[in-house]
Amino acid sequence: MGALKLSDKQWDELDRLRFSAGDAKVFRNCLIILMSDRGVRRSRRSIAKELGCSPGTVDTVRKRYREQGIAGLTPRKSPGRPPQVTPEYRAALRKAVQTPPLRFGYGFSVWSVARLNAHLKKTTRLAFSDERVRRLLREEGFSFQRPKHTMKGKRDEAAYEKAQARLKRLKKGRFAKLATLS
79 lies in some domain: no
**Digit-coded pLDDT (tens) for 40-52:** 778 889 999 998 9
Nearest to 37 by CA among 63, 73, 55, 62: 62
14 lies in some domain: yes
42 lies in some domain: yes
pLDDT of residue 156: 82
CA angle in degrees (0–180, nearest 5) for 122-125-128:
95
Answer yes or no: do 93 and 126 share one domain.
yes
| Structural domain range at position 67 | 8-73
22 lies in some domain: yes
Contact 14, 72 (CB under 8 A): no
Based on the structure, what is the number of domains in the chain? Answer: 2
173 lies in some domain: no
Nearest to 29 by CA among 40, 20, 39, 17: 17
Answer yes or no: do 69 and 93 share one domain.
no
24 lies in some domain: yes
Arithmetic mean of pLDDT, 55-64: 92
Instruction: Give, in order, the Cα–Cα distances in Å from 46 to each of 3, 40, 101.
Output: 13, 12, 54
Over 70: is that where the pLDDT of 176 sits? no
62 lies in some domain: yes
Query: In whole angstroms, what is the distance from residue 40 CA to residue 46 CA?
Result: 12
Answer yes or no: do 97 and 57 share one domain.
no
Answer yes or no: do 12 and 69 share one domain.
yes
Answer yes or no: do 15 and 52 share one domain.
yes
**Last residue of some domain: 50, 73, 96?**
73
pTM over 0.75: no
**Digit-coded pLDDT (tens) for 95-113:** 999 999 999 999 988 899 9
Answer yes or no: do 65 and 121 share one domain.
no
Over 60: is that where the pLDDT of 1 sits? no
